[in-house]
Amino acid sequence: MGTHTHAGEKTYRYVPVPVPVVRLKTTLKHNDEFKKESGNRQPTSKLVMMKRVITTLAVWLLSTTASFAHAVLVETKPAANGLVPGPDINVELRFNSRIDSTRSRLTLVLPDQTLRPLSLQPPSTPATLDAHINGLGAGAYKLRWQVLAADGHITRGEIPFQVK
């Protein structure tokens, strides 16, 4: 009989279904573990190919997310375009991520455009640059900063401010 089915056939067909669910979990494992596992299965099945694509996507997503960890300025003292009383001012630049203060630079641009490198104070948090500046006359200044973030990227910028 053409439509005859064995009692066990249905069960047999459903056996492979839970397997991909288990295999997909391996994409969360470390890359080396994954390679070891997939290397044992010959020949390369569609499922293994799919796993590779998913793993590649996962790794790409992780690295893309990590690249956003470079330092972006969140808040400054003095504020950008702010007016502060002299002659002594406190400088604090706060970033969105941890920075390497030993490889970060802060320079004051004087009203006559000459540069004064500033020595950094011990930072109040791992994400801040602190400095103290003495003896500023009234005028327009700029803080020029360059920082190295924990992800190895350098960012830089300028903060203009006025001393009254």
What is the contact surface with Cu ion in residues (CB under 5 A)? Answer: 70, 151, 153
The residue (of 149 and 159) whose beta carbon lies closer to Cu ion is 149
For residue 101, the minimal CB distance to Cu ion (Å) is 17
The residue among 23 and 153 lying less far from Cu ion, judged by its C-beta, is 153
Point out the residue whose Cβ comes nearest to Cu ion: 70
Closer CB to Cu ion, residue 37 or residue 100? 100
Please state the closest distance from residue 153 (CB atom) to Cu ion, in A.
Answer: 3
85 cis-preceded (ω within 30 degrees of 0): no
Neighbours of 149 (CB within 10 A): 21
Contacts of residue 113, Cβ cutoff 8 Å, sequence gap at least 6: none
Q: Whose Cβ is closer to Cu ion: residue 107's or residue 155's?
A: 155
- Which sign, positive or negative, has the C-alpha torsion 68, 70, 76, 79? negative
Tokens encoding 74? 């969140």
Radius of gyration of the chain (CA): 29
Task: Give the nearest distance from C-beta 147 to Cu ion in angstroms.
Answer: 11
